[in-house]
Structure formats: structure tokens, C-alpha cells
């Protein structure tokens, strides 16, 4: 997570070929990627990913295609062996499954089935909600992508510019932002990843004002509107073609 998300994603946000989080290697979300037959059913893939989001993210951040299937990146030097990563992945997963679906139901005695069902429902709801929040912050219709050539020798100013164009916010009351972990302010999260999340709402109007001053699109809208554009984007790029999203 520290390497693939905190470093790669937050440093190379939406740079095709460097930010693995754009589409998670499963979904074609721009015409920067060539169309494949499997993209025809990528909306179903999205639904499965959302339902199992905790496991999908875990596999993705582990770079599972490298660890489990031997795909290599030429310039990658691993400080941890693949066998150790596999052991950690399966060990942590097994502990989580045991806790949720064995230990807690067992100590509930005659209520074990209710606890089992409750844990399952809670995990699915959490996965669906988290997935929706993340997708609304990263894959709305107006999110831009960038080529590696565009970002060569990138200045600090261009880095901030890229973070704004590569992210989306969605609006709502204070309690709603709390339920999203304040990731409803994804633009501010990408601009200031080290800032405590509860401050995003306070700085968002200032960021929007600066973006407006310099003619930079500040992508924000209602939750339902943003989610509708996410769904539309997934479906549109299920088929060949699609509009250019590169900034």
C-alpha cells in the first residue's frame, strides 16, 4: 500500500502506464487503452469488484499479477520476496475470514447465524459503499488522463494542475462527507494527501476559487450525478473508441 498507493498513485496520478490505480488493471476507462473482447462485460466485472472490493484492492495493491503469475516490470526491484508477500496476503486474509465468519459467530452461541449473516451483510455493504466513493472520486466523466511524455520534467505547479484535473468531488451535507471519510473531497485529498481528512471541506472552497481564477476545471457535482457519469464511463468504454480524455 505504501508503495503502490501512497507513492505510485499519489505521485503519478492518472499518468497512463505509471498509475496502476486507473481502472485497476481490470476496467478500460479511457481510449488510452486498446479495446479487448473482455471489455464487453466489464460492467459485470465492476459489480463483482465492488462487491468484493476489500479483496480486490488487497490483490491489486499487492501487484498480484506479478506475485502470483510472474509478470515482471523491468525496472522493479523487490525488497520483499514473492513468497513472503504470498504468506502475508493469505495469512492476513485467513485471519480476517476466521474473525468475521468463525470466531464471532461461535462466541454468539445460539445467535451464531444472525452474527454470521450480519458480518457478511456488513462487509458487502462496506465494500459497495467504499467502491462507490472511490470510483466517484477517480472515474467520473470529466476526469482527465495524462501521457508520460506530457509529464516529463514536470514542475510542481503542473503536478498540482494534474491532481485537480485527475480527480472529482461530490457534494452533500456534513454527515454525508463524514460517511465518505471526507473522500468526497478527492481533489483536496490528491492535492494535500498528508492533510487530515476532516480539513478537506474547509480548504475546498479556496481550491475551487483558485482553479476558477486560472481557468482550471474543478470537477464537482452531486453524488448521484457523479455516480451516473461513472456508470456511463464504464459502459461507454466497454466498446471500442471513446472520446479523448488526455489533458
pLDDT tens digits, residue range 136-182? 999 999 999 999 999 999 999 999 999 999 999 999 999 999 999 99
Convert the pLDDT of each residue in 172-192 to its tens digit: 999 999 999 999 999 999 999
Decide if pLDDT at 66 tops 70: no
In angstroms, rounded to a whole number, what is the distance separating the alpha carbons of residues 131 and 49? 8
∠ CA 215-219-220, nearest 5°, is 125
243 Cβ contact list (under 8 Å, min separation 6): 31
pLDDT of residue 6: 84
Q: Which residue has the higher pLDDT, 5 or 15?
A: 15
**Lowest mean pLDDT across 62-71, 98-107, 227-236:** 62-71
pLDDT of residue 120: 97
H helix intervals, 8-81 = 10-11, 42-51, 53-61, 64-67
244 band by pLDDT with thresholds 50, 70 and 90? low
In angstroms, rounded to a whole number, what is the distance separating the alpha carbons of residues 208 and 194? 19
In angstroms, rounded to a whole number, what is the distance separating the alpha carbons of residues 110 and 131? 34
pLDDT of residue 5: 82
Domain boundaries, the chain: 2-236
Amino acid at each position: 500500500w505504501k508503495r503502490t498507493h501512497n507513492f505510485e498513485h499519489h505521485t503519478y496520478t492518472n499518468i497512463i502506464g505509471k498509475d496502476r490505480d486507473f481502472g485497476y488493471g481490470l476496467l478500460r476507462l479511457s481510449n488510452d487503452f486498446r479495446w479487448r473482447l473482455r471489455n464487453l462485460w466489464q460492467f459485470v466485472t465492476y459489480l463483482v469488484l465492488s462487491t468484493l472490493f476489500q479483496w480486490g484492492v488487497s490483490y491489486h495493491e499487492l501487484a498480484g499479477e506479478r506475485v502470483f503469475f510472474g509478470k515482471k516490470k523491468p525496472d522493479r526491484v523487490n525488497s520483499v520476496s514473492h513468497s513472503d508477500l504470498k504468506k502475508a496476503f493469505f495469512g492476513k486474509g485467513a485471519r480476517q475470514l476466521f474473525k468475521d465468519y468463525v470466531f464471532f459467530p461461535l462466541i454468539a452461541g445460539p445467535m451464531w447465524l444472525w452474527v454470521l449473516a450480519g458480518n457478511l451483510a456488513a462487509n458487502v455493504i462496506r465494500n459497495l459503499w467504499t467502491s462507490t466513493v472511490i470510483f466517484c472520486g477517480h472515474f467520473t466523466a470529466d476526469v482527465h488522463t495524462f501521457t508520460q511524455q506530457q509529464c516529463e520534467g514536470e514542475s510542481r505547479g503542473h503536478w498540482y494542475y494534474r491532481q485537480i484535473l485527475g480527480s472529482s468531488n461530490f457534494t452533500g451535507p456534513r454527515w454525508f462527507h463524514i460517511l465518505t471519510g471526507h473522500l468526497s473531497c478527492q481533489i483536496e485529498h490528491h492535492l494535500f494527501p498528508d492533510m487530515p481528512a476532516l480539513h478537506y471541506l474547509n480548504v475546498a472552497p479556496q481550491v475551487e476559487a483558485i482553479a476558477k481564477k486560472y481557468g482550471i476545471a474543478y470537477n464537482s457535482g452531486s453524488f448521484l450525478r457523479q455516480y451516473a457519469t461513472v456508470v456511463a464511463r464504464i459502459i461507454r468504454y466497454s466498446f471500442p473508441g471513446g472520446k479523448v480524455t488526455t489533458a
